[in-house]
Structure 1
Amino acid sequence: TIEAEYAVGEYDIQILSANQSNGLLTFLNQSGYRIPVDAVSVLNDYIRGGMKFFVARVNLARHQAGVAGGQGRYLTPLQISMRSEKFMLPIRLGTVNARGDQELFIFAITRKGRVEGANYATVKIPADVNVPPFTEKLFGRFYQDMFAREKQMTPIPAMFLEYAWDLSWCDPCAANPPSVEDLQSLGVDWLTPQSRPGSSSGGLRPVPIPQPIPQNGVVQPSIVPLPQPLPLPVFPPQPQAIDAFITRLHLRYNKVSFPQDLQFRVTDNRENFQGRFIIQQPYLGEMVCNEAQAYLQQVKAREQNEAIALSRLTGWSIDYIRRQQAVYPGKPMHERR
């Protein structure tokens, strides 16, 4: 049954419901969708759970018209607003005809605290580890290999926590926090503009005004100086406190490693966390002070520890890492005299 149909931007959207998978499968096949036979059991599970199906098809004519009109080549992200007692993400249907692993990043915004997996473990990625300076120029490869190794070393299917932050404060701030308007555009509907320091009205101090004194039964007018407004205090711009907590989860999955849909829960945990890797640049200038040799020994030990840490994080060989250390940003400090 077609519950609703919409034409939104470059998409033709249908909301479907069904009582059995055969009817839904027949409709989708007749509409030009290629649904594998393995999808029948998954569809039946969703139908029994009372779920409806959201089908979006790109209308190429409207998309090309948008490109010609300067709207860009990329498809507009789909944003769906709904209310449900089930805090879950159905992924099983997408794994039926997928080849290999799929990558998924989940950004969850709540008022209460962190979001974690309810039916799969939540594991933090490594953080606060010193790595060699050359890692910066290879950071994309480093992060991919680090994540792949972390997943390989985790014996159970897990969602990896990459970031968790209370948006009411940040110290230090890696970047400007999202504005209230940005969050509202993402569906955060409980926020209201916050007042800033120094925005209160007023500035006058209450001063008692003396009353006229009668003389010979006649009230003489009196002139009373009025208090002057006090200058309002000037405050530097302050980051806006936002009543929201953001969580970023990362998982790599397939139908074998993640046979169930993702279930989530909101926790009371508001502890901040971010995957952070520390780079310390050695001093490369001339050193003639008495402490030079002690510093060189300290840097030598640090470089060795950084190489070992990077190898453990990524699986890169120690020999490869030391060759990279030898050419970036120049001769290693421990080889200098």
Structure 2
Amino acid sequence: FSKAWTNNKSSAFVEYSWDLDGKNFTKCDPCNTTPPAAQELSNAGVDWLKTTRNNWGANYSGKLHFTRLHIRYNRKTYPQDLAFIETKNKENFQCRYVLRNPAKINDESCDKVLPYYQKVLDRRNIELDNLEDITWWNKEWYSAYPKKYENKITRLKAQQNEKEYEDENENNFLPAFPSGNIPPMILWFFVGVSLIGISLITFHKKWQALKF
């Protein structure tokens, strides 16, 4: 409100506005205060309501339009007295902020977790942009708010990359060739070494037999 008022000091800002009657006198979600009772309305100059009692909890019958305005005025920026007129616009209106709490996830093995974390991170960045735009607060003061999910995403991506690497190299002959495609020269080298080893063992056995 302070920021909006600074941009336009001669305006009144509506928080909520709705028809208030004895049959359905609660139109707010959430309600910031208890709806007024008949005596309170009478004290405010509403003299056309009839006092009664019904199952809805209200103690009057009759209709009126109820609103809450925010205004700052003085001799310089808003010198005139407030004047109210009967409105033909009876549409319900309420300005509110909805807070969304992210889900608590214990098992991160599901492939839907990482996209969800990214969605929460994007939403939190938008929330900080809106906060800075509405209040003039510096969003850097709340850098830990999105950072929490940046860390979650970084950690989860590292775990997934490590698992993919392990799965890829599980059945490889040589870790140096993670794709499993061993160059022919290297393959022939190991075949040659194996044959030489077998020949040396055979020669050693024959030598031992001749010696004794």
TM-score by structure 1 length? 0.38
Letter in 2 for 1:174: P
For the aligned residue pairs, the C-alpha RMSD in angstroms reads: 2.5
The equivalent of 1:303 in structure 2 is 124
State which of 301, 310, 314 in structure 1 corresponds to 2:135: 314
Larger radius of gyration, structure 1 or 2?
2
State which of 171, 177, 187 in structure 1 corresponds to 2:45: 187
- What per-residue deviation string (whole Å, max 9, x for no partner) do you get for residues 55-93 of structure 1? xxxxxxxxxxxxxxxxxxxxxxxxxxxxxxxxxxxxxxx
Q: Cα distance, 1:295 vs. partner?
A: 0.9
- In 2: Cα distance, 1:314 partner to 1:242 partner: 39
Relative to total residues, which structure has the larger helix share, 1 or 2? 2
Matching of residue 174 in structure 1 with residue 30 in structure 2 = yes
8 Å CA contact retained: 1:160, 1:249: yes
- What per-residue deviation string (whole Å, max 9, x for no partner) do you get for residues 115-166 of structure 1? xxxxxxxxxxxxxxxxxxxxxxxxxxxxxxxx11101222x61122222121
1:138-287 mapped onto 2 (5 Å cutoff): 147-154=1-8, 157-168=10-21, 169=24, 170-175=26-31, 176-194=34-52, 196=54, 237-240=55-58, 243-287=63-107
TM-score by structure 2 length? 0.58
The 3 A distance-change label for structure 1 pair 249 and 304 is same
Q: Cα distance, 1:286 vs. partner?
A: 1.6
Specify every segment of 5 or more residues in structure 1 that has no aligned partner in the other structure, as ranges: 1-146, 197-236
1:164 match: secondary structure: strand
- In 2: Cα distance, 1:263 partner to 1:291 partner: 56
Q: Cα distance, 1:182 vs. partner?
A: 3.3
- What per-residue deviation string (whole Å, max 9, x for no partner) do you get for residues 277-333 of structure 1? 11111123423323111211110110111111111101112212324x26xxxx733
Corresponding pairs, count:
145
Letter in 2 for 1:164: S
Q: Cα distance, 1:189 vs. partner?
A: 1.4
State which of 279, 289, 294 in structure 1 corresponds to 2:115: 294
8 Å CA contact retained: 2:28, 2:94: no
Q: Which has the higher contact order (CA 8 A, sep 6+)?
A: 1
The 3 A distance-change label for structure 1 pair 294 and 174 is same
- In 2: Cα distance, 1:278 partner to 1:314 partner: 16
The 3 A distance-change label for structure 1 pair 306 and 318 is same
The 3 A distance-change label for structure 1 pair 281 and 293 is same
- In 2: Cα distance, 1:173 partner to 1:335 partner: 35
1:165 match: secondary structure: strand
- What per-residue deviation string (whole Å, max 9, x for no partner) do you get for residues 227-268 of structure 1? xxxxxxxxxx43546512112222112221123333332211
The 3 A distance-change label for structure 1 pair 275 and 286 is same
Specify every segment of 5 or more residues in structure 2 that has no aligned partner in the other structure, as ranges: 157-212
1:244 match: secondary structure: strand
The 3 A distance-change label for structure 1 pair 306 and 238 is same
8 Å CA contact retained: 2:19, 2:64: yes
The 3 A distance-change label for structure 1 pair 172 and 253 is closer
The 3 A distance-change label for structure 1 pair 310 and 287 is farther
Relative to total residues, which structure has the larger strand share, 1 or 2? 1
- In 1: Cα distance, 2:127 partner to 2:95 partner: 17
- In 2: Cα distance, 1:262 partner to 1:182 partner: 21
The equivalent of 2:198 in structure 1 is none
- In 2: Cα distance, 1:248 partner to 1:335 partner: 43
8 Å CA contact retained: 2:117, 2:149: yes
The 3 A distance-change label for structure 1 pair 186 and 256 is closer
The 3 A distance-change label for structure 1 pair 291 and 334 is same
